[in-house]
Structure 1
Amino acid sequence: MLKDVMFLVVVFLTNIIQGITGFAGTVLAMPPGIFLQGIDTAKMVLNILGILASLWIVSVSYKDINWKEVKKILFFMVIGTALGMKIFTLLPLEFLLKIYAILIILMALKGIFIKGEMKTPEWVLVGVILLAGVIHGMFVSGGPLIMIYVAKKLKSKSSFRATLAIVWIVLNTYLAFSHYNQGIFTSENLKLLYLSIPPFALGMIVGNILHHKMSQATFLKLSYILLSISGVALIAK
């Protein structure tokens, strides 16, 4: 019971960040979610909440979507996601979790300490999209990597958030069907999902208000700090 309550607190706090940035909620929630509920439950519940969060963002920011970038991102991320799902079934979970944790920490440190624009060739950016898809297929957490690409292409924070929301709706729906076929939609997991909806909704409301009222840069820095803590916790597990 205590673990369920703690999970609901995690859902509330991380969806505040999701409402602000449009990308960080699931990757922040996944490490503590794995600790508290196990990886299958965490993936299933957080994936569905990710779909709901993205539908919410699209409903309030539809006009800000950059459809050209949506098509490009989806083309490469679908390939990467399918590859990531396959890799997840082939390699040991503990090994994958360590790699995942190291990537989280590296992305967090980059966001905290590396300032300004870096020249990045287009082929490298495409590789970033593919790798983001791989991570998303394994852990429903491709947001921090795809953020590298989107930050280069979209300078408006509202376009940034709305464009990513469409990407997550498509990819997470694909993952949801896969999870259903794997038998992860158990009665216990569905019960936890239903319990998660109120704190999820409250977190999104708060996050959406803060998105419009406060500096995104401040909350991106907060996201990176939380990412680094999550990564360290996974390595120490």
Structure 2
Amino acid sequence: MDFTFKIDYLLVGLMQVIGFFIQGTTGFGCTVIAAPVTNGLLGTTMGVPYGTAITIPFLYYLAVKGRKDISWKDLGKIVVLCAPGILIGQYLFYQISPETAKVLIGAMVTIIALMNLHKYVIKPLVIKEMDDVEVADTLVKRTFRYGCLILGGIVHGAFNIGGPLITVYTLEAVKDKKKFRNTMTMLWVVLNSWNLFNQHQNGAFTNELNSALLIALPLAGIGFFFGMRFLEKINREQFLRIVYVVLLIIGSNMLLSNIPWTADSKMMSMIGTAIVLAGYTFNVFKKRKVNVEKLQTR
């Protein structure tokens, strides 16, 4: 192999430090977090297989290391329900616009992330309200979770962006933070190995791609190592907050970067968002005042 150095390869590699810190902590997110930089500098033809290949050594390492902390039952459900969707998605790749799919998925993931950030961040830390009663797992909730899982398989097969939807299911199914990360890791071992095989068969691995990977792997390793150490120092509540912040970043970026904006639509969106945020903030601090007064009288 003829090694090639380009400054773009180094810049993309530096982005992997951030992406793999998140991956080492949560078990997902490195490819999507780094995708704007990766695809922007390398192009999608090289960037997509790059994102697949760079994860493989770390996924296999963590899968072997954490094999005793994998929820095999839930992993089996995920694989079984995603597999048909991946095959369907590979067919739909030629039928659906990637931009349309990203807008829809981005909107769904953003809404889910915002709802859960309200639950795990705003309610306990700002409003000072705690959920004392565990909410029952209803048929509607289970249907929603499995629907996210099936849809996640379809969009992953079509556009390699099903991770956020699959995460929605796994967060509810696997409560322990280490089991969640290791179960997600094992899932990406399965899915990314399949993608890597297909990409290799299609001739994606050129000298340029291999050179970019050699530069980035040590940098990714640094981020991954510190992400794994960080997971040891946080509790489940902090872990969930980090996961939903990551999902919000992924979902909102996927949504906003694929909407065909015009000057008028952008202005209307900004005004609407400002009004909604103002109303939400007013309501939050109104509830906070009531709860603080209750706590002071106890």
TM-score range, shorter chain: 0.7 to 0.9
The residue that corresponds to 1:198 in the other structure is: 218
C-alpha distance in 1, partners of 2:97/2:258?
15
| 2:253 matches 1:230 | yes
Equivalent pair of 1:105/1:231 in contact (CA under 8 Å): no
| 2:114 matches 1:91 | no
Equivalent pair of 1:154/1:160 in contact (CA under 8 Å): yes
Report the AA paired with residue 246 of structure 2: S
Please report how far the alpha carbon of residue 208 of structure 1 lies from its aligned counterpart in structure 2 after TM superposition.
0.2
The residue that corresponds to 1:13 in the other structure is: 18
4+ aligned runs moved over 6 Å, structure 1? none
Q: Alpha-carbon deviations, 1:139-185, whole Å to 9, x = none? A: 33322111111111111011111111111111111111111222222
Equivalent pair of 2:106/2:250 in contact (CA under 8 Å): no
Equivalent pair of 2:107/2:251 in contact (CA under 8 Å): no
Assess, with a 3 A threshold, how the Cα gap between structure 1 residues 31 and 131 changes in structure 2: closer, same or farther: farther
The residue that corresponds to 1:40 in the other structure is: 45
Q: 1:64 aligns with which of 55, 64, 69?
A: 69
Equivalent pair of 1:84/1:136 in contact (CA under 8 Å): yes
Equivalent pair of 2:105/2:251 in contact (CA under 8 Å): no
Report the AA paired with residue 3 of structure 1: D
Q: How many residues align?
A: 237
The residue that corresponds to 2:201 in the other structure is: 181
Q: Which of 1 and 2 has greater Rg? A: 2
Please report how far the alpha carbon of residue 198 of structure 1 lies from its aligned counterpart in structure 2 after TM superposition.
0.9
Equivalent pair of 1:140/1:172 in contact (CA under 8 Å): no
Q: Alpha-carbon deviations, 1:206-236, whole Å to 9, x = none? A: 1000011123134224413432553356236
Assess, with a 3 A threshold, how the Cα gap between structure 1 residues 53 and 107 changes in structure 2: closer, same or farther: farther
The residue that corresponds to 2:240 in the other structure is: 217
Assess, with a 3 A threshold, how the Cα gap between structure 1 residues 57 and 96 changes in structure 2: closer, same or farther: same
Please report how far the alpha carbon of residue 93 of structure 1 lies from its aligned counterpart in structure 2 after TM superposition.
4.3
| 2:166 matches 1:161 | no
Q: TM (normalized to structure 2)?
A: 0.70
The residue that corresponds to 2:168 in the other structure is: 148
Alignment root-mean-square deviation, CA: 2.5
Residue segments in structure 1 that go unaligned for 5+ positions in a row: none
Please report how far the alpha carbon of residue 203 of structure 1 lies from its aligned counterpart in structure 2 after TM superposition.
0.9
Please report how far the alpha carbon of residue 111 of structure 1 lies from its aligned counterpart in structure 2 after TM superposition.
4.0
C-alpha distance in 1, partners of 2:110/2:182?
26
